[in-house]
Structure formats: C-alpha cells, structure tokens
C-alpha cells in the first residue's frame, strides 16, 4: 500500500529503478568480468573463444540483461547528476531526451555486437557472421 502511494510521487520510479538496476549490475557485471578476465586469466581473447563462451545460455542471458541494465543505470545516473546541478523543467526534459536517444543508440550498437554470438547469425548492421 505504501509502495503504491510512493509510486505516484514524481521521481519515484527513476529512484527505485536506479537501485534495482544497480543491485542487478553487482551480479551481472561481476559475472561478466569473471568470465571475460578472471576465470581463465591470461587466455588469449579471440573471436572463436568468444563464440565458445557464448554457447552458454547463462552467459548469453547475463550479457543481454547486462547491456540493458547498464545503459539504464548509467544514463539515469547522468540524469541524476544533471538534477543535482540544478536542471529542472524544460532543461531537464531536454537532458532526458538526449539521454534516451543516446541509450537507444547504445542498445542497438551493443545488440549488434552481441547478436552474432547469441543468435548465430548477423544482426542487421553486421557484415560478417561468426564461425566457430
């Protein structure tokens, strides 16, 4: 009940989702770093190694969720900085629009990198499909 009331206050969802995505990132990002840099530290990172890593459904899911969570968390964080620096009203709206645009670009760009490994075929920007 208190949660529902809080949900109608302006800024509640930006605040709540920042905490939720942050908590998710602790797990997702540390798993990403562990797989890519620590589990087999020193293993040379190559295209075929990445194809092998992405055969894991868990790693696929983690990286796609990580992409979405990190874009939201990072850009909403920039918006929080803008608010702390005094952005309100029209200025804040403009900042939000720029950040939404940047977020969409990052999402498409990031999916373009992940898609060949996850789906086994190129995303629409991709020129060369991966092989094992």
Partner 1 sequence: MSERALKRRRWLAVRGYETGIWAYLLHRLSGLFLVGYLFLHIAVISTAASKNGRVNFNQTLGFLQQPFFVVLDVLLIGVVLYHAANGIRVILFDMGFLIRRQRTVFWTFMAGAAVVWGYVLARLMPLVIGG
Site residues for partner 1, 26-65, by CB under 8 A, read 26, 29-30, 33, 37-38, 41-42, 44-48, 50
Q: Minimal distance in Å, beta carbon 44 to partner 1?
A: 7
CB atoms within 10 A of CB 60: 16
Cβ atoms of 107 and 123 within 8 Å: the answer is no
End-to-end CA distance of the chain: 53
Least CB distance to partner 1 at residue 111 (A) = 9
Q: Is 103 in the site for partner 1 (CB under 8 A)?
A: no
Q: Candidates 2-10, 23-31, 87-95: pick the segment binding partner 1 (CB under 8 A).
A: 23-31
Give the closest residue to 70 by CA, choosing from 24, 116, 101, 117.
24
Q: For the CB of residue 45, give the shortest distance to partner 1 in the complex, in Å.
A: 5
- By the 8 A CB rule, do 22 and 74 touch? no
Report the distance separating Cα 110 and Cα 114, nearest Å.
6
Binding site for partner 1 (CB under 8 A): 19, 22-23, 25-26, 29-30, 33, 37-38, 41-42, 44-48, 50, 70-71, 74-75, 77-78, 81, 84, 106, 109-110, 112-113, 115-117, 122-123, 125-128, 130-131
């Amino acid at each position: 009940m208190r949660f529902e009331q809080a949900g109608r206050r302006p800024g509640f969802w930006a605040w709540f989702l920042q905490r939720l995505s942050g908590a998710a990132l602790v797990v997702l990002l540390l798993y990403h770093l562990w797989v890519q840099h620590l589990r087999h530290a020193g293993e040379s990172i190559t295209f075929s190694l990445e194809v092998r890593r992405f055969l894991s459904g868990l790693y696929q899911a983690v990286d796609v969720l990580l992409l979405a969570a990190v874009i939201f968390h990072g850009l909403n964080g920039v918006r929080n900085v803008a608010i702390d620096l005094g952005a309100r009203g029209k200025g804040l709206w403009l900042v939000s629009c720029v950040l939404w645009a940047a977020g969409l670009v990052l999402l498409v760009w990031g999916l373009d990198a992940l898609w060949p490994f996850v789906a086994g075929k190129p995303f629409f920007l991709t020129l060369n499909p991966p092989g094992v």
